Amino acid sequence: MKKTGIVFLKEFRGYFMTPMAYVILTVYLLISGFFFYVMISHFSLVSLQMTQYGYSPEEISVNEMVFRPLYLNLSLILLMVIPMITMKLMAEERKSGTAELLITAPVRWWEIIVGKYLAACALVGIMTAATLLYPVIVALIGDVDPGPVLTAAIGLFLTGSAFASFGVLASTISENQIIAAVMSFGVLLLLWVVNWATVVTEGALSTVLDYLSVISHYEEFAKGVLDSRHILFLISLIVYPLFLSTHVLGLRHGR
């Protein structure tokens, strides 16, 4: 694991040695902050109106009206942002000519792939942690149930980590960063909307399509439901692309 850690540190530092990480984090926080502002403003307006009609504050849930839709939207932002984070992981190595140096180093294929993947996950973790500022802000002036919010954050991180795994695979397959980003975005978008086909299918096929949809699983996290079935599904989406990435890397270099 020491060699994996070396690859991880090299790649993670590389994000912050260029404007890339700063730009991505800034854009992500601006968009998520905009969503939070709109939703909390709408919640305040609705709360005031409902109070005037005799509803008690306990009947108005900030978790349901603000944080559940907020985290659903944040996952969609990750779907668009993560291909930009992962597109350079292997494609840039080949473009800059450092791939051969990395490949000939005394390090295993899986250590290279996992190290680079963990660097992308670390950035996803920073983005996820930043979103916890929103419930903290609300908690200063009102009541927030922390359990569902933390569950949604865990789901967001796992979903982002699954997205990053597909991004690593695309970057390993393609030598062009833009093509890698488009490939990973296309696959992730398909996994996001595949359950739309359930309206025109039925039986076992409909069940399978719904199960393969990422949003079908992530919605449960956003509701505050921590279910091992959904966790295992997202972990499988992490492990399988990394496994394929390791083999693609080996095939590319004749081993």
Answer yes or no: is pLDDT of 1 > 80. Answer: no
Domain count, the chain: 1
What is the rounded distance in angstroms from the CA atom of residue 226 to the CA atom of residue 229?
9
pLDDT score of 195: 84
- Residue range 171-199: mean pLDDT, rounded: 88
**Mean of the per-residue pLDDT values of the chain:** 84
Other C-beta atoms closer than 10 Å to the C-beta of 188 total 23
Q: Residue count of the chain, please give it.
A: 255
Please report, rounded to a whole number, the percentage of residues in the chain having pLDDT higher than 90. Answer: 37
Write the pLDDT tens digit of every residue in 53-65: 666 555 567 788 8
The domain in which residue 58 lies consists of 2-252
Read off the pTM. Answer: 0.88
98 vs 236: which has the higher pLDDT: 236
- Residue range 206-223: mean pLDDT, rounded: 88
